């Protein structure tokens, strides 16, 4: 039997690896078990918000990340070829007055490299956890590479979490399901949004929202709401949809388009005994508004000192972990409400509803509401 680790993290995605780095920097004995042999190249999260940038600075990853990322300093909302309003992130986040955009797999690679420097050999790829049993004094994990024991086990294993299931924690659905089509294209939108402007653009059109975000390498990510999960649609279909709704011509796709359905879900608890959940294992938030990965990172920032305390003073473990559970579930609920608002604003609109929505957008992007909205969009309240 291998030594009992202080903390074993199940799942080496962005949240598990970030937590591993934060714990390692704090001197904790930590190991990550990741089922994939090779990293995923699916580009999901792109937006990295100011509170997360501060955390990345704390673990020594920020400079490398900013060398690769695009800085989005502002966003604008358009409808029928006209600008309804714009938001600057400058005053909302004085230290990092922008959202950094980088494909998730590149961010994950930087985190893995950093953890490898901090704890060589402790990121174990190709190890699948199949069962988890909390024995009271420690937790026993069964994996396809043998058994592992730890004082605390963290479920960072995503929305279909085996750890959450093993801990008997419920998974509640919040709100309704929506569908989108997403793809990256060479950036021809600069002419549309102003030269050199690294701006996010939300097109609130009659047929449903289309969103567009700059990416490194002269690319742009486009996301369009669809009536159904268009699994057979390709980049040409997405380009046609963008043109039809917004008038913008995109050409030259980079990679294939992909369809996704948005679900919002929240775990009934974020800890049970010596088992704790973080990231998508604890809450699945709609990508519309780009919060899921960042919310998980903020879980990690809150969990690290709680775990340190629980390991150091075992008699306080239950109360510090209950505090983590309470604050982070509240943050997840707020994020879900914000994502619900974003999705609602982006739904198809005609006639009176369209007029009312556009008037609301104008009001929200003018002082004094605009600062509050910019703070919400840069995740300053989570």
Q: Which of residues 123 and 203 has its CB atom nearest to ligand FAD in the complex?
A: 123
Among 31, 35, 209, 317, binds ligand FAD (CB under 6 A): 35
Among 21, 45, 102, 181, binds ligand FAD (CB under 6 A): 45
> Strand 30-34 vs strand 123-125: parallel, antiparallel, or unpaired?
parallel
> In the bound complex, what is the minimum distance in angstroms from residue 358's beta carbon to ligand FAD?
25
> What is the footprint of ligand FAD within residues 196-255 (CB under 6 A)?
none
Return all residues near 259 (Cβ < 8 A) that are at least 6 apart.
179, 180, 181, 182, 226, 229, 230, 231, 233
Task: Check: CB of residue 6 under 8 Å from CB of residue 31.
Answer: no
Task: Give the shortest CB-176-to-ligand FAD separation in angstroms.
Answer: 17
Instruction: Please name the residue ranges forming H helices in 346-380.
Output: 351-364, 369-377
Question: Can you tell me the distance from the alpha carbon of 54 to that of 325, in angstroms, rounded to the nearest whole number?
Answer: 22
Q: Which of 86, 128, 188, 263 binds ligand FAD (CB under 6 A)?
A: 128
- Beta-carbon contacts of 366 under 8 Å, excluding residues fewer than 6 positions away, are 85
How many chain residues bind ligand FAD (CB under 6 A)? Answer: 33
Q: Which residues pair with 48 in a beta bridge?
A: 100
Q: Give the single-character DSSP code of 4.
A: P
Question: Residue 356 Cβ, how far from ligand FAD at the closest point, in Å?
Answer: 28
Assess 7 for contact with ligand FAD (CB under 6 A): no
Q: Is 263 exposed, middle or buried (0-12, 13-18, 19+ CB in 10 A)?
A: middle
Stretch that binds ligand FAD, among 13-21, 66-74, 233-241, 370-378 (CB under 6 A): 13-21
d(CA 144, CA 163): 15
Residue 366: how many CB atoms within 10 A of its CB?
Answer: 12
C-alpha span between 257 and 240 (Å, rounded): 12
Region from 34-42, 76-84, 320-328, 343-351 binding ligand FAD, contact rule CB under 6 A: 34-42
| Binds ligand FAD (CB under 6 A): choice among 156, 202, 257, 277 | 156
Quick one: 189 or 223, whose CB is closer to ligand FAD? 223
Q: Is residue 12 a contact point for ligand FAD (CB under 6 A)?
A: yes
Binding mask 292-331 for ligand FAD (x = CB under 6 A): xxx-x-----------------------------------
Closest CA to 224 of 214, 232, 235, 215: 235
> Shortest gap between Cβ of 58 and ligand FAD (angstroms)?
18
| 11 lies in the site for ligand FAD, by CB under 6 A | yes
The binding site for ligand FAD (CB under 6 A) comprises 10-16, 33-36, 44-47, 104, 128-129, 156-158, 162, 182, 260, 279-280, 287, 290-294, 296
């Amino acid at each position: 039997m291998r030594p009992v680790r202080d903390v074993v993290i199940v799942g080496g995605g962005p949240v598990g690896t970030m937590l591993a780095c934060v714990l390692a920097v704090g001197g904790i004995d930590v190991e990550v078990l990741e089922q994939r042999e090779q990293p995923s190249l699916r580009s999901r999260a792109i937006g990295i918000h100011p509170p997360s940038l501060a955390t990345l600075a704390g673990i020594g990853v920020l400079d490398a990340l900013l060398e690769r990322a695009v800085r989005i300093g502002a966003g604008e909302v358009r409808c029928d070829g006209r600008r309804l309003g714009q938001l600057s992130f400058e005053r909302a986040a004085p230290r990092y007055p922008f959202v950094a955009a980088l494909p998730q797999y590149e961010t994950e690679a930087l985190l893995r490299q950093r953890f490898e420097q901090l704890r060589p050999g402790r990121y174990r790829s190709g190890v699948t956890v199949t069962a988890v049993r909390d024995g009271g004094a420690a937790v026993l994990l069964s994996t396809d590479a043998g058994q592992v024991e730890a004082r605390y086990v963290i479920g960072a294993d995503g929305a279909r979490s085996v750890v959450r299931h093993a801990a008997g924690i419920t998974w509640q659905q919040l709100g309704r399901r929506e569908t989108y089509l997403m793809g990256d294209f060479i950036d021809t939108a600069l002419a549309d949004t102003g030269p050199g402007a690294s701006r996010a653009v939300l097109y609130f059109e009659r047929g449903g929202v289309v969103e567009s975000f700059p990416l490194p390498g002269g690319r742009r990510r486009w996301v369009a709401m669809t009536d159904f999960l268009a699994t057979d649609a390709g980049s040409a279909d997405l380009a046609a949809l963008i043109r039809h709704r917004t008038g913008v011509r995109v050409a030259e796709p980079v990679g294939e388009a992909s369809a996704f359905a948005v679900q919002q879900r929240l775990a009934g608890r974020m800890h049970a005994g010596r088992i704790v959940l973080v990231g998508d294992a604890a809450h699945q938030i709609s990508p519309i508004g780009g919060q899921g990965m960042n919310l998980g990172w903020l879980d990690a920032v809150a969990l690290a000192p709680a775990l340190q305390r629980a390991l150091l003073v075992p008699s306080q473990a239950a109360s510090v972990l209950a505090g983590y559970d309470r604050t982070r579930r509240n943050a997840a609920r707020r994020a879900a409400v914000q994502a619900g608002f974003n999705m609602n604003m982006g739904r198809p609109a005609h006639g009176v509803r369209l007029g009312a929505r556009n008037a609301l957008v104008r009001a929200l992007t003018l002082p004094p509401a605009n600062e509050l909205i910019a703070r919400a969009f840069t995740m300053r309240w989570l």
